Structure 1
Amino acid sequence: MNIVALLDKLAADLTTDDRQVAREPEGLAFQGQLFAKLHQEGMAFRLGADSPAREAALEREAARGRDAGWVYSPASDVGQWPTLAEQALAAVYRP
């Protein structure tokens, strides 16, 4: 699956009746707030600076921490992207 198709699928899978995930050119957003974005040869996910999700993601060998609570996950770790995208959405979604 190519990256565009994967982003489209993630947006569709994360959208529910009460939350609409937008597929932006650079990644995924909720109410205009980007929470997952293309970065280098992978994706960066906004998990929150001190969140347990960020700490768990950083335990993965391939992941790297970025500023402001973002975690980079390379394409080789694509199997983790749906989980990371869901966790990143949870960090910005306020019902």
Structure 2
Amino acid sequence: MSRLDSWLGEVQWLGLVALFVVALGTVGLYLAQWALARARPRSPRRAAEPGEGPRPEPDALLAWVLALTSWRGQWQAAWVAALNDEAKRRAAPGVCYF
């Protein structure tokens, strides 16, 4: 049993060293990309054309609907009720899932 313990200890140590080296490599690559981005000359931003206005966001309609207080309250109540129903349907007494 001591051979197995020592072998597992060596494997764990090598695994930790490998993870540390990979983490250092990841940080090194991030810093290299950051340095290259800082060293690259920035192109001047083009001026907006006269016909170009602010582009509408894809979720502008959803943001508008959620801004309506009456609809928002109904939506939240329906969402909570659906979550509670699903929780009751899936619940098993005395069982915890992780």
TM-score normalised to structure 2 length: 0.18
User: Relative CO higher for 1 or 2, CA cutoff 8 Å, sep ≥ 6?
Assistant: 1
Structure showing greater Rg: 2
TM-score normalised to structure 1 length: 0.19
Select the structure that is richer in strand. 1
Select the structure that is richer in helix. 2
